[in-house]
Amino acid sequence: MSFFSVPSATGVAGVIGVAAVLGSAATMAPTPSTALPAPSSHREAPGTASNPQVDATDFYMFRSYEAGKDDMVVLVANYYPLQDPYGGPNYFALSNDAIYEIHVDQDGNAEEDLTFRFQFDSQLQPIALNIGNPGQEVSVPIPLINAGAITAGDTSALNRTETYTLDVIQGDRRTGTVFSSLNQADSSPTFKKPVDNIGTKSIADYATYAQAHQYSISLPGGMTGRVFVGQRKDPFVVNLGEVFDLVNFDPTGAVNSQTDDLADKNVTSLVLEVPIAFLTNGSEDVIGAWTTASLRQARVLNPEPNAMKGVAVHGGAFTQVSRLGHPLVNELVIGLPDKDRFNHSDPTGDGQFLTYVTNPSLPELLEILFPVTAPNLFPRTDLVDVFLLGVDTLNRPAGVVGSEMLRLNTATPVTAIGAQNNLGVIGGDLAGYPNGRRPGDDVVDIALRAVMGVLLPVADAPNGQTPFTDGAFVDETAFDTTFPFLRDPIPGAPN
């Protein structure tokens, strides 16, 4: 019998604090892998590394902890990694030739029932100056993205603007019913994206400017939500360089002893606030979700590009090139030969990647590099539950089909600001990762402890209760308490 057609066999095996210890989920015999779980997806695969505009970096899904908004779920899809704030003059526009999507599975069958589809368009003014002797001036387009100061009420100095549309697709993303969301303020189907944070001379009050790009949107069935798309301070916190350098730090040290290598980086965020009632369709409380980006199959380079024709002509059907659910999968769980395959795959095909979860190599690597002992239980059904099924009695939908996606029990009570535990479920906070993911959840530390067996009996994981860490600390205090939660981007020039 295929593992991917049945739920876990044994359910909850015990309790760590108030967190469920995950039980056996499969009996199939695995084969060895070379996987190693670690940070979120920043340049995680060869294909997306060459096209950062469609590279998904992080995905968050949580019940809103904004006051009076606990009937809402917030979905955050981040793209375009490692944005240096000073990265002008072009900065970090999203691709006009791509579609960016957030998919929601309402019934646990590993197929999308809802899709939120974003498509972008850039417009060139173009702003030009009259240059030359009096009476002999010629109009010359400027080389910069703006020609003067920008405010929430006056963007006329912008040389290039970005807009987007948002479609809600009910059913299969390719064949379902398409609903075009409208701006509730003016019934327009087009929304504006704020320009990136050029600097304080160009945009003196970026917070007010960005806030003017939050929109109330229409949803099918007469419901409403909110959307914001724009640059944010990258919310992910990780000791990135040293993790990749054969874990070049002490993983048993202090949780705040190392550097956050993304502290000076921005990212582009697609943020939605959607009613729970719309996402669950009034039935199953547990939803699953993941993000994708897709490009046309064919591209022909234009030998004479210009603003009207662009640098290439794209054609053919859209094909998926990026995928992200859990923050711990493609970058270092999936082996190098399969990274692009994973990015092109759907959750229904995740059986082909099972070994990367059941036989992770990170514990063995840590055992080689440090005086610790790796778990000795295989297959690692505890990790299967976290990544592929959901935690039994917490966020596993009835009749679940095993597949990699972030799962959230929308009936789990919200943990208020000031009470959130950045270790989520293993820290006793059932509203945290892997029951969805909040910005303040330290998923790197959670992952390190999970792969070393925090959810296993001590007999199977001698170092399971060791507080492993990457040393880069994050919690809820690094984020805002209101929509869109992620903080304003770092300005390119703060003077």
pLDDT tens column, 47-57: 666 678 999 99
> Per-residue confidence at 44, pLDDT binned at 50, 70, 90?
low
Model confidence at 94: pLDDT above 60: yes
Q: Which amino acid is at 61?
A: M
> Per-residue confidence at 334, pLDDT binned at 50, 70, 90?
confident
Per residue in 400-448, pLDDT (tens digit) is 999 999 999 999 999 999 999 999 999 999 999 999 999 999 999 998 9
Helix or strand run (H / E) with residue 166:
strand 160-170
Q: Which two tokens stand for residue 219?
A: 């949803």
Mean residue pLDDT across the chain: 87
Measured between its terminal Cα atoms, the distance across the chain in Å is: 64
Sign of CA dihedral 280, 290, 71, 418: positive
Averaged pLDDT, 134-148: 94
> Per-residue confidence at 10, pLDDT binned at 50, 70, 90?
very low
Residues linked to residue 77 through DSSP beta bridges, in sequence order: 59, 270
Averaged pLDDT, 462-484: 95
The widest CA-to-CA distance across the chain, in whole angstroms, is 88
Share of the chain above pLDDT 70, in %: 89
> By the 8 A CB rule, do 129 and 309 touch?
no
- Smallest Cα–Cα separation from 35: which of 410, 361, 495? 361
176: helix, strand or coil: coil
Model confidence at 37: pLDDT above 90: no
pLDDT at position 186 is 96
Averaged pLDDT, 301-324: 84
Helix or strand run (H / E) with residue 364:
helix 362-369
pTM of this structure = 0.89
Q: How far apart are CA 408 and CA 412, in angstroms?
A: 8
DSSP for 373-390, written as a single string? -----SS-HHHHIIIII-
pLDDT at position 6 is 28
> By the 8 A CB rule, do 400 and 374 touch?
no
> By the 8 A CB rule, do 376 and 360 touch?
no
Share of the chain above pLDDT 90, in %: 72
Could you state, in order of their start, the residue ranges of all structural domains in the chain?
A: 46-478
pLDDT at position 158 is 96
> Per-residue confidence at 13, pLDDT binned at 50, 70, 90?
very low
pLDDT at position 40 is 57
> Per-residue confidence at 491, pLDDT binned at 50, 70, 90?
very high
Torsion of Cα atoms, 274 then 276 then 281 then 286, to 10°: 120
Q: How far apart are CA 24 and CA 385, in angstroms?
A: 8
Model confidence at 119: pLDDT above 60: yes
Per residue in 260-299, pLDDT (tens digit) is 999 999 999 999 999 999 999 878 999 999 999 999 998 8
Q: How many helices (H) and strands (E) does the chain have?
A: 9, 17
Residues linked to residue 56 through DSSP beta bridges, in sequence order: 79
Interior CA angle at 15 toward 14 and 19, to 5°? Answer: 130
> Per-residue confidence at 7, pLDDT binned at 50, 70, 90?
very low
Q: Which two tokens stand for residue 464?
A: 């399971």
Model confidence at 338: pLDDT above 80: yes
> Per-residue confidence at 309, pLDDT binned at 50, 70, 90?
low
